[in-house]
Amino acid sequence: MRIFSDLTEFETEECRGCAVVIGKFDGLHAGHQRLLDTVAERRSGGLKTLVVTFDRPLSDFFSGTAGRVLTTDEERDRLLSEREVDYEYVMPVTKETMAVSPEDFLKLLAGRLRARVIAAGRDLSFGAGGKGDFPLLSRLSAELGYEAVPVEKVRYAGEEISSSRIREAVAAGRIEEAEAMLGRPYSLEGTVSEGKRLGRRLGMPTLNLIPAEQKLLPPFGVYVSETRLLGRTFMGVTNVGVKPTVSDERRPVAETCLFDFDEVVYGERVTVSLLAFLRPERRFADTEELKNQMRQDLLQGKSYGRRIAGSVHG
């Protein structure tokens, strides 16, 4: 996948046309995946797939505050690349770009971005003041030379899936519900950082991952987790929080103890997927009490893993 933020870069690309989707794609959830599947079908006709997204959430621009996200830009880009999207145009969010009229925005898509298909939900909004909608997209399609393709929403538990709905589920600790709407477990990504090595001294070495500041975290606590590291997948348990028993620092960290793993992997890229909530984070009287609780957490995590394996092979 080629990522660009300057339109002149795209103009050097050799493609006769693109099938386009538009949005921030926070979470890249099941609804977003249906949109991507729709444009991917047009590859057979010789079109490239193009995702038009933004360098920050539009809500942040209009509110003047930075909200939390389900996926960082880096995580979103990886997920799009895994789906074999051809191009991603990251539009800068500025006063000038947000003042572009809906009609001029469509001319930009059809002209410089060579949109020949634009797939969108019927609740689409775009252009200055969000005044552009699907009827306008459809009405101008013949004039501007593209096909407007409506895509139905994906529903979960009777309601439409949305990024805001998933953020509510994650913030409330409803991890399995978030997974159902995302189509994959909620995950944290980053590089393994060096901690105080307390887990190793306690006989239970851990991997420390410091989440990006804008990343939405679930309630602090211990979770059964699945970790992707060095091209392999490991089950374990992860404490998301500030480790109040052993630290006065307030920046959250995801500290993961893997089953049957004892390698030193500082600086390696890691993805930690949260599968189920075990207990809230709390302060213990001393490290011995913490150690005993960690043992219980590991036993619960292994029991969960065996149930998963049994359901898969049963």
pLDDT digits (tens, 9 = 90+) for 145-187: 999 999 999 999 999 999 999 999 999 999 999 999 999 999 9
The span from the CA of 83 to the CA of 51, in Å, is 11
Q: Residue 195: its pLDDT value, please?
A: 66
Q: Are 121 and 220 part of one and the same domain? A: no
Residue 142, number of CB atoms within 10 A of its CB: 10
At 226, is the pLDDT very low, low, confident or very high (cuts 50, 70, 90)?
Answer: very high
Between 197 and 152, the higher pLDDT residue: 152
The span from the CA of 239 to the CA of 191, in Å, is 16
Which of 41-55, 84-98, 278-292 is the least confident region? 278-292
* 214 in a structural domain: yes
Assigned token pair, 227? 């970790």
Q: Are 7 and 154 part of one and the same domain? A: yes
Phi-psi region of 231 (alpha: psi -120 to 50; beta: other; left: phi over 0): left
Domain containing 91: what range? 2-159
Between 291 and 147, the higher pLDDT residue: 147
Residue 309 has pLDDT above 60, yes or no: no
CATH number, domain of 212, equals: 2.40.30.30
Residue 311 has pLDDT above 60, yes or no: no
Contacts of 126 (CB under 8 A, 6+ apart): 22, 102, 105, 132, 133, 137
Residue 46 has pLDDT above 90, yes or no: yes
Q: Is residue 69 within 8 Å of residue 29, measured between CB atoms?
A: no
Domain count, the chain: 2
Q: Residue 313: its pLDDT value, please?
A: 41
Q: How far does Cα 146 stand from its chain's mean position?
A: 29
The span from the CA of 294 to the CA of 245, in Å, is 12
The residue out of 142, 159, 176 marking a domain boundary is: 159
Q: Are 152 and 195 part of one and the same domain? A: no
Q: How far does Cα 195 stand from its chain's mean position?
A: 26
Q: How many CA atoms lie within 13 A of 179 on its CB side?
A: 14
**Strand-pair category, 221-229 with 232-241:** antiparallel
pLDDT tens-place string over residues 232-263: 999 999 999 987 666 666 789 999 999 888 78
* 174 in a structural domain: no
Which residue in the block uniquely carries the two structure tokens 């995590």? Answer: 301
Residue 312 has pLDDT above 60, yes or no: no
The span from the CA of 44 to the CA of 243, in Å, is 52
Q: Are 145 and 221 part of one and the same domain? A: no
Contacts of 257 (CB under 8 A, 6+ apart): 199, 204, 205, 206, 236, 237, 238, 294, 297, 298
Residue 19 has pLDDT above 90, yes or no: yes
DSSP state of 241: E
At 308, is the pLDDT very low, low, confident or very high (cuts 50, 70, 90)?
Answer: low
Q: Are 43 and 155 part of one and the same domain? A: yes
- Which helix (H) or strand (E) segment holds residue 188: the answer is strand 186-193
Residue 199 has pLDDT above 60, yes or no: no
Q: Are 189 and 227 part of one and the same domain? A: yes
Name the average pLDDT for the chain.
Answer: 91
**What is the average pLDDT across 80-95?**
96
Q: Rounded to two decimals, what is the model's pTM?
A: 0.90
The residue out of 125, 159, 193 marking a domain boundary is: 159
**What is the average pLDDT across 182-195?**
92
**What is the average pLDDT across 98-110?**
97
Most confident of the ranges 58-67, 178-187, 233-242, 285-294: 178-187
* 276 in a structural domain: yes
Between 97 and 203, the higher pLDDT residue: 97
CATH number, domain of 61, equals: 3.40.50.620
